[in-house]
C-alpha cells in the first residue's frame, strides 16, 4: 500500500466514530472535505447504472485540487455530490465539519448556499440583470440584509470589475462574465469554490487570466478550490489531481 493510501486510511479510521447524521463533526482539523466510500447508483428502468463505486478521499482546507477523467468516469456525479446538488446512494460526505450525505433537499439547499460557491463553464448569469445584481443574488437567499450592495461592489472590485458593476452580461466579454461569476461564487464566503471547466468557453488569453485570478484568490484568501476539467494544462496548475475512471478513483497525485 502506498504512503498516500496508508495516510488516507488512517485519517478515515480516525474520523469513522465521529460521523453522525445531521450533526456537526470535526473529523480532521485541516480537512474541508472528507468523502468515504461514496457510491451513486442511477436506475434507468430495470437497468442500474453505477456512476460512482465507493470513492474515498480527503481535501484539506486551502488546497487547489482538480478532478479529471474521461467522459462517463463519474466526474459530474462527484461534482454534484461535493457541491451538495445531490446525495450519494452510499457513503459519508463531511463538508466543513458537517455530515451532509443524508440530508433532505431543503437542508441540503441551505448548506449549499452557505458553504459552496459555483463557477460554471457557461457563466450562468442572469442576462437582464447587471453585474451587481448577479453578484447580489446568493445573498437574497442567505439573508445578506442591507449590506448586499456594499458586499457585491467589493466582490466585483476584488475581481477587477469596479468599472463594470452596472453592465449587463451582453455588454461584457466572456472573461469579464466569468469574473462576475467568480465574484458571485465568493460572495457568501463559502468553504469551497467549485469550478466546472471555468475556462472552457474562453479564448486562451482570457482563460489564462481567469486561472491566474482563481489561483490568486487561493493565495490571498486561502479559498479551497476544486476544478473539474478535461484540460491537462489547467490541472497542471493545481496542487493535486484526483483522477476517475469508470466510477472509481484511479489515482490521486
> pLDDT class for 253, splitting at 50, 70, 90?
low
Phi, psi of 240 (to 5 degrees): -155, 150
Domain boundaries, the chain: 3-252
Average the pLDDT over each of 16-20, 52-56, 185-189, 226-230 and give the range with the smallest value: 16-20
Mean pLDDT across the chain, nearest whole number? 88
Strand, coil or helix: 55: strand
> pLDDT class for 145, splitting at 50, 70, 90?
low
Determine the pLDDT at residue 16: 39
The pTM of this model reads 0.85
| Statement: residue 130 has pLDDT above 60 | yes
Question: Which stretches of the chain are assigned E, i.e. beta strand?
Answer: 31-44, 47-60, 64-68, 90-95, 98-99, 116-119, 192-196, 224-228, 240-245, 248-252
pLDDT tens digit sequence for 61-74:
999 999 999 999 99
End-to-end CA distance of the chain: 15
Rounded CA-CA distance 165/102 in Å is: 39
Q: Thinking of the domain 3-252, which architecture would CATH place it in?
A: 3-Layer(aba) Sandwich (3.40)
> What percent of the chain lies above the pLDDT cut of 90?
82
CB atoms within 10 A of CB 138: 22
Average the pLDDT over each of 1-15, 145-159, 199-213 and give the range with the smallest value: 1-15
151 and 142 Cβ atoms separated by less than 8 Å: no
- Burial class of residue 176, CB neighbours in 10 A (0-12, 13-18, 19+): buried
88-119: buried (b, 16+ CB within 10 Å) or exposed (e) per residue?
Answer: bbebbbbbbbbbbbebeeeebeebbbbbbbbb
Amino acid at each position: 500500500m502506498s504512503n498516500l493510501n496508508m495516510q488516507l486510511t488512517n485519517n478515515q479510521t480516525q474520523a469513522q466514530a465521529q460521523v453522525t447524521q445531521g450533526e456537526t463533526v470535526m473529523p480532521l482539523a485541516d480537512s474541508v472535505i472528507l468523502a468515504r466510500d461514496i457510491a451513486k447508483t442511477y436506475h434507468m428502468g430495470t437497468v442500474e447504472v453505477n456512476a460512482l463505486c465507493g470513492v474515498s478521499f480527503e481535501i484539506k482546507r486551502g488546497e487547489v485540487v482538480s478532478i479529471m477523467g474521461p467522459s462517463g468516469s463519474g466526474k459530474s456525479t462527484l461534482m454534484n455530490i461535493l457541491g451538495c446538488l445531490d446525495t450519494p446512494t452510499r457513503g459519508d460526505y463531511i463538508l466543513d465539519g458537517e455530515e451532509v450525505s443524508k440530508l433532505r433537499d431543503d437542508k441540503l439547499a441551505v448548506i449549499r448556499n452557505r458553504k459552496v460557491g459555483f463557477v460554471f463553464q457557461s457563466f450562468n448569469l442572469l442576462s437582464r440583470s447587471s453585474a451587481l445584481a448577479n453578484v447580489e443574488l446568493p445573498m437574497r437567499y442567505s439573508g445578506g440584509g442591507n449590506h448586499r450592495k456594499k458586499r457585491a461592489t467589493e466582490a466585483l472590485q476584488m475581481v477587477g470589475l469596479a468599472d463594470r458593476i452596472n453592465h449587463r452580461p451582453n455588454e461584457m466579454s466572456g472573461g469579464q462574465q466569468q469574473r462576475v461569476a467568480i465574484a458571485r461564487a465568493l460572495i457568501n464566503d463559502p468553504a469551497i469554490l467549485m469550478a466546472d471547466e471555468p475556462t472552457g468557453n474562453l479564448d486562451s488569453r482570457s482563460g489564462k487570466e481567469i486561472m491566474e485570478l482563481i489561483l490568486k484568490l487561493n493565495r490571498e484568501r486561502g479559498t479551497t478550490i476544486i476544478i473539474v476539467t478535461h484540460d491537462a494544462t489547467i490541472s497542471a496548475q493545481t496542487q493535486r489531481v484526483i483522477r476517475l475512471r469508470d466510477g472509481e478513483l484511479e489515482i490521486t497525485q
